[in-house]
Structure 1
Amino acid sequence: MRNNCSFENVDNLMQSLELVIYLPTFVFGLVLNALALVFFCVRLRKWTESTIYITNLALMDLLLLLLLPFKMHATNHRWQAEMHRLCSFLESMYFVGMYGSIFTITCIAVDRYIAIQYPFRANQLRSPKTTLVTCSVIWGVVISATIPVHSFREDKDTDFHCFHGFSKNGWNPFLIGALEIFGFIIPALVIIFCSLKSIHTLRQSERNSTMNRICKRIIYSSLFAFIVPFTPCHIGIFLQFLVRQSVITDCYVQNRIALFVQVAMCLANITCCLDAICFYFIVSEVSSSNETFRRSISQRRTLSTSEV
């Protein structure tokens, strides 16, 4: 509830700021993710667990990116009342893309942890088929979890700003609690644990130092791509929840929280570009593996020739 506070200054500022953030995010994110899909779907002949997860992450990012023009339009224009259903659909797809990315990054961290920590059992625990099933489950879970979004708007007879002004249903304590715990806290703990354990294991190993460095870069970049965009926005969601529950009533503080939430949500979308860092290192890993394989074959052929 906004009480009698005026948020006009915040809304006016965000009309310009969102464009400044969204336009480069949309352009660069669209190009980078499209290139990633072309590389992994066209150029690579063999699908691995990592490339399947990365492709799924790129699809999630593209879903987010394709919704940004609607968000930019909704920030500066009121939509007509009959567009409520379209707005609810777009809002639900936005959350599908965001939390689908979070769960995919989490699965990438777990998959990498298994491959590094249990190399001899990895072939039993990991497979492309299992990865495809996992990605399908992610899509099913996030789509099902966003069904309540369609009830976030109660007044459907007036013009409105899409992606803004959720009703009390959207700030239900149970819903926000589940969002924070299952949508951020648990994935964050899993990613941090798997990342730290994997890095520790790689540091202890002295074999394949080049590959170890590449793996550590992938882990660090994945951790960075998760922590930087998603931590501020979930802190902001919790603070806004306190405002809606009348725990925070000071008007000045409410304005600052409103600004922080909107900026944090904008910055959360840069994950579409940050994930490209992960794509780059995955490509490096694949290229390095292929080069190692070619060198091995070349050496074997040379030895065979010399023996003859």
Structure 2
Amino acid sequence: MWFVKIAFHSQQDSAMAYSGEHHNCTDVDQLMKRYYLPVSYGVIFIIGLVGNVTSIGIYLTKLRPWKSSSIIMVNLALTDLLYVLSLPFLVYYYSNGDSWTLGNFMCQVVRIGFHFNLYGSILSLTCLAVFRYVVVINPLRAAQVQQKKWGIIACSAVWLMTAAEITPMLTMISWEVSVNKTSCLDFASSLSPHVRWYGWLLTALGFLLPLVVVFICYIGVVKQLAKGPSSSSPCRMRARRVTVLILVVFVVCFLPYHFLRVLRIESRLMKETPCMVVRTVHAAYIISRPLAGLNTFFNLALYTLSGDKFRRAFISTFYCEYWLTKVRSVLHLAIINQAGCHMPAA
């Protein structure tokens, strides 16, 4: 009978430990989704919409004819614009208590929009880093690299590769219907049996490989600029600033998201993972999602360093014309008043 008592007490202790664990397991991730995500996505939507519409307008009206870098920049702004246009749906979704009311099709459109922007931006920035690397390493080929055909080829390749990377995700983004609500699950929260290997493959090919390419370009640019009499030329200095900014975007925006997404998937799929660990990893992953979306802010800064006279066009659009119009109106009003003062009395 003694081993029966031991087994009984062991089961009782396990049940108490399980109950205590779930009692201490806070819903911090749910709070993050309810309050953090709507605010973050709302800010990104407002700034991203204004910034990208303005950038596209400047490229279309003031920076023609385009070079290869201009075409890549416009492509980058378009992908960012498509992403920010999907954010109001997510703001409403998370503000509405994590309940999706727009159907399965819109669920897939919104979730795919985020990943299309993410990997489209990664590949576009990688192309820019490679182009700047070629300009610095071999200045004689700078004119050839700046031809429009290379920008069209690069953007076509970016769209095709991005579509190939995220197409399998269509089978993993799920629209889950429960008793109380309908959820539009994120890719990392998918119940698909293939989510683990696909997550690792997407991280390796969609992020780590471009990161290695960007890092190699950065090292090459730095080494080349450290030697030679023309190392401080405006073209080369601009290329270094662009490459550094691209590397910062990869490390600050993309790296945390991919690392925490892998942890999120693994913590869900591993057996007997403590509830608090799952919740904490999920909360950290939630923080990283808007952080990945902040690449739209860095892209806005990138336009001013692209070498396409974007800064001058921006200033001429929003400052010079405004002040000239204001000065003209003031002068016109002064002339009218002066004329009125000199009119003879009747």
1:246 shift after superposition = 0.5
Deviates more, 1:168-177 or 1:105-114: 168-177
The aligned residue for residue 304 of structure 1 is: none
**Which structure has the greater CA radius of gyration?**
2
1:176 shift after superposition = 1.1
1:125 shift after superposition = 5.6
The aligned residue for residue 215 of structure 2 is: 192
Find the partner of 1:105 among 102, 113, 125: 125
The aligned residue for residue 254 of structure 1 is: 278
The aligned residue for residue 242 of structure 2 is: 218
RMSD: 2.5
Find the partner of 1:30 among 36, 40, 49: 49
Q: Which runs of 5+ in 2 are unaligned?
A: 1-20, 313-346
For each residue in 1:225-256, what CA deviation from the matched residue of structure 2 results, as whole angstroms up to 9, or x when unmatched? Answer: 22211010001011112112216712222111
State whether residues 137 and 221 of structure 2, in contact with CA within 8 Å, keep that contact through their aligned partners in structure 1.
Answer: yes
State whether residues 171 and 241 of structure 1, in contact with CA within 8 Å, keep that contact through their aligned partners in structure 2.
Answer: no
For the residue of structure 2 that corresponds to 1:218, the secondary structure is: helix
For each residue in 1:14-71, what CA deviation from the matched residue of structure 2 results, as whole angstroms up to 9, or x when unmatched? Answer: 3111123222221112222122111212101221111111111111111111111111
Deviates more, 1:269-278 or 1:205-214: 205-214
For each residue in 1:207-239, what CA deviation from the matched residue of structure 2 results, as whole angstroms up to 9, or x when unmatched? Answer: 253443333222222221222110100010111
For the residue of structure 1 that corresponds to 2:226, the secondary structure is: helix
State whether residues 38 and 94 of structure 2, in contact with CA within 8 Å, keep that contact through their aligned partners in structure 1.
Answer: no
State whether residues 117 and 201 of structure 1, in contact with CA within 8 Å, keep that contact through their aligned partners in structure 2.
Answer: yes
Distance 1:202 1:124, change over 3 A: same
The aligned residue for residue 265 of structure 1 is: 289
Indicate yes or no: 2:163 matched with 1:143: yes
Name the aligned partner's letter for residue 12 of structure 1: L
In the alignment, the residues of structure 1 paired with residue 293 and residue 70 of structure 2 have an alpha-carbon distance, to the nearest angstrom, of: 22
1:122 shift after superposition = 4.4
The aligned residue for residue 127 of structure 1 is: 147
User: What TM-score does the superposition give when structure 2 sets the normalisation length?
Assistant: 0.75
Indicate yes or no: 2:192 matched with 1:169: yes
Where do 1:1-308 residues align within 5 Å? 8-77=27-96, 78-80=99-101, 83-124=103-144, 127-153=147-173, 157-158=177-178, 159-164=181-186, 166-169=189-192, 172-207=195-230, 209-246=233-270, 249-282=273-306
In the alignment, the residues of structure 2 paired with residue 220 and residue 284 of structure 1 have an alpha-carbon distance, to the nearest angstrom, of: 18
In the alignment, the residues of structure 2 paired with residue 42 and residue 229 of structure 1 have an alpha-carbon distance, to the nearest angstrom, of: 31
State whether residues 52 and 81 of structure 2, in contact with CA within 8 Å, keep that contact through their aligned partners in structure 1.
Answer: yes
Name the aligned partner's letter for residue 280 of structure 1: T
State whether residues 174 and 184 of structure 2, in contact with CA within 8 Å, keep that contact through their aligned partners in structure 1.
Answer: no
State whether residues 149 and 170 of structure 1, in contact with CA within 8 Å, keep that contact through their aligned partners in structure 2.
Answer: no
For the residue of structure 2 that corresponds to 1:37, the secondary structure is: helix
For the residue of structure 1 that corresponds to 2:305, the secondary structure is: helix
Distance 1:30 1:287, change over 3 A: closer
For the residue of structure 2 that corresponds to 1:161, the secondary structure is: strand
In the alignment, the residues of structure 2 paired with residue 9 and residue 50 of structure 1 have an alpha-carbon distance, to the nearest angstrom, of: 43
For the residue of structure 1 that corresponds to 2:273, the secondary structure is: coil
Distance 1:278 1:247, change over 3 A: farther
1:154 shift after superposition = 5.4
Deviates more, 1:99-108 or 1:169-178: 169-178
In the alignment, the residues of structure 2 paired with residue 248 and residue 116 of structure 1 have an alpha-carbon distance, to the nearest angstrom, of: 53
The aligned residue for residue 303 of structure 1 is: none
Name the aligned partner's letter for residue 58 of structure 2: F
Deviates more, 1:148-157 or 1:269-278: 148-157
In the alignment, the residues of structure 1 paired with residue 185 and residue 211 of structure 2 have an alpha-carbon distance, to the nearest angstrom, of: 25
Distance 1:170 1:214, change over 3 A: farther
1:100 shift after superposition = 0.4
Deviates more, 1:237-246 or 1:255-264: 237-246
State whether residues 180 and 234 of structure 1, in contact with CA within 8 Å, keep that contact through their aligned partners in structure 2.
Answer: yes
